Amino acid sequence: MDRYSSLGRLFIGGDWRDASSGATAPTTNPFDDAHLLDVAQATEDDVDAAYTAAASAQREWMAMLPTKRQAVLAKAADLMDARREEIADWL
């Protein structure tokens, strides 16, 4: 299903990227066995990059004022609410 094609990448440090090895694995719909997408297979280097990015983001998050963190979370909730049907379809 082409609508899922952008979901098969890794999200690391604010960017969508392919696995460093280029390896993927197919994902299928368990109901009808239809191919949904190919999912990037993270390598140890990809996991290390994700951990480093997350640790950096955590330091920035901790330094942020609570009111700013609240605003970020409220915006995220609004975005998810606006796209709830699309999100439910992914699940």
- Residues 17-32: tens digit of each pLDDT: 999 999 999 989 899 9
How many residues belong to the chain?
Answer: 91
Strands 35-40 and 15-17: unpaired
pTM value > 0.75: no
Residue 82 CA from chain centroid, whole number: 18
Which conformational region is residue 33 in: left (phi greater than 0), alpha (psi within -120 to 50 degrees), or beta? left
The per-residue pLDDT of the chain, averaged, comes to 91
The whole-number average pLDDT for the span 4-25 is 88
Q: Which tokens is 28 given?
A: 């299928």
- Residues 41-52: tens digit of each pLDDT: 999 999 999 999
